[in-house]
């Protein structure tokens, strides 16, 4: 049992992981600013579910509505609590919008992380799980992607902020003995997925009978990873970081079964029983050709093994989406 500080706890992955942490007997304090990157009502709903879960399992759960860049708020949280560990999800998370507003991405993803690392240093909190992204691999030619591959060529400001975050975490590990696991998530999907991401967007458009914007010829591939597998890998890495000394590790958390964009559209269409209308558009800047994880390192150190294949995961997502949106 641990007391954990979570940033971005009202979001898609933060809220899903919080439920598991509470069920396993941990207490949580979270900070989230409920920004309007997507409809904040969805985050309020996530929060309500997590609060109910805390009640059901008799755990302590507190959500502070604030910004990770706010020094005063963050310091107060660390002054009032004695945390065993931190999981840092709060970030500006989209690839394409980071090209439109790079300064905002740097402000939240780098300055926000620095504010957190400083609070950890000042308040002697020594265990951190930092959420990075497969986007750090850019257009890596070698597949699958390994943590040993060079990641010096990010092709979006978002990816560059995540790589910078990994470096800053290393610096705080080296200087101040903060143990860190950096998790490179590969495109995460499942119930509560952000509405800006492909699976959610395509499902909505198909159900509304609208065309699906397909950027490129449909051959770009993504290693989609089901949220329960991501939750499992994240909690395994948290335990590893808490239980070991002198940790600085980078872990790929992926499903290792990339699927093409056209293949993904087909799986969603088959699940919905709908013939999709496809609107083919040029490739978007910042988009990589393929993501494909080699998760051997996470398997060896964490015993991480993803369980959910795309057909099953999409079925779960579609069932959830239809229920949430009044389709059944």
Ligand X SMILES: NC(=O)c1ccc[n+]([C@@H]2O[C@H](COP(=O)([O-])OP(=O)(O)OC[C@H]3O[C@@H](n4cnc5c(N)ncnc54)[C@H](O)[C@@H]3O)[C@@H](O)[C@H]2O)c1
Name the residue whose CB lies closest to ligand X: 11
Closest approach of ligand X to the CB of residue 162, in Å: 7
CB of 14 to ligand X, least distance (A): 6
The catalytically annotated residue of 105, 137, 158, 172 is 158
Q: Give Cα 182 to chain centroid, integer Å.
A: 12
Kindly list the residues in this chain that would bind ligand X in the complex (CB under 6 A). Answer: 8, 10-14, 31-35, 37, 43, 67-69, 89-91, 93, 108, 112, 131, 133, 185, 187-188, 194
Task: Between 31 and 117, name the residue whose CB sits nearer to ligand X.
Answer: 31
Closest distance of CB 284 from ligand X, Å: 16
- Minimum distance, C-beta of residue 145 to ligand X, in the bound complex (Å): 13
Shortest separation between residue 194's beta carbon and ligand X, angstroms: 5
178, 172 in Cβ contact below 8 A? yes
CB 124 within 8 A of CB 82: no
Nearest CB to ligand X, comparing residues 22 and 93: 93
Nearer to ligand X, 185 or 240 (CB): 185
Active site residue 226: no
Select 39 or 303, whichever has its Cβ closest to ligand X.
39
Q: Give the per-residue SS3 of the chain.
A: CCEEEEECCCCHHHHHHHHHHHHCCCEEEEEECCCCCCCHHHHHHHHHHHHHHHHHCCCCEEEEECCCCCHHHHHHHHHHCCCCEEEECCCCCCCHHHHHCHHHHHHHHHHHHHHHHHHHHHCCCCEEEEEEEHHHHCCCCCCCECCCCCCCCCCCHHHHHHHHHHHHHHHHHHHHCCEEEEEEECCEECCCCCCCCHHHHHHHHHHCCCCEEEECCCCCEECCEEHHHHHHHHHHHHHHHHHCCCCEEEEEECCCCCEEHHHHHHHHHHHHCCCCCEEEECCCCCCCCECCECCHHHHHHHCCCCCCCHHHHHHHHHHHHHHHCCCC
Nearer to ligand X (CB atom), residue 93 or residue 214: 93
CB of 32 to ligand X, least distance (A): 5
What's the distance, CA 287 to chain centroid? 17
**Distance between CA atoms of 22 and 232, rounded to whole angstroms?**
14
- Of 253 and 272, nearer to ligand X (C-beta) is 253
What positions carry a catalytic annotation?
A: 158
């Amino acid at each position: 049992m641990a007391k954990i500080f979570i940033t971005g706890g009202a979001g898609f992955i933060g809220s899903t992981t919080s439920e598991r942490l509470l069920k396993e007997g941990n207490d949580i304090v979270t900070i989230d600013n409920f920004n309007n990157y997507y409809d904040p009502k969805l985050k309020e709903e996530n929060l309500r579910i997590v609060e109910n879960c805390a009640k059901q399992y008799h755990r302590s759960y507190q959500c502070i509505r604030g910004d990770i860049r706010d020094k005063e708020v963050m310091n107060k949280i660390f002054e009032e609590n004695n945390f065993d560990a931190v999981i840092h999800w709060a970030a500006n998370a989209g690839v394409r919008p980071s090209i439109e507003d790079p300064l905002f991405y740097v402000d939240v993803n780098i300055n926000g992380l620095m504010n957190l690392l400083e609070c950890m240093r000042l308040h002697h909190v020594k265990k951190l799980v930092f959420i990075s992204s497969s986007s750090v691999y850019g257009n890596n030619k070698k597949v699958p992607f390994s943590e040993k591959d060079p990641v010096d060529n990010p092709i979006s400001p978002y990816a560059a902020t995540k790589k910078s975050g990994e470096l800053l975490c290393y610096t705080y590990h080296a200087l101040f003995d903060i143990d860190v696991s950096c998790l490179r998530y590969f495109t995460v999907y499942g119930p509560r997925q952000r509405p800006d991401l492909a699976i959610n967007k395509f499902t909505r458009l198909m159900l509304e009978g609208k065309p699906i914007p397909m950027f490129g010829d449909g051959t770009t591939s993504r290693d989609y990873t089901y949220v329960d597998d991501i939750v499992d890998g994240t909690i395994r890495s948290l335990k590893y970081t808490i239980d070991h000394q002198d940790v600085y590790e980078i872990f790929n958390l992926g499903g290792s079964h990339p699927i093409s964009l056209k293949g993904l559209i087909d799986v969603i269409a088959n699940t919905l029983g709908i013939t999709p209308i496809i609107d083919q558009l040029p490739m978007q800047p910042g988009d990589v050709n393929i993501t494909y994880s080699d998760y051997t390192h996470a398997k060896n150190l964490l015993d991480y093994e993803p369980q959910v294949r795309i057909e099953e995961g999409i079925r779960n997502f579609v069932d959830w989406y239809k229920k949430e949106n009044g389709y059944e």
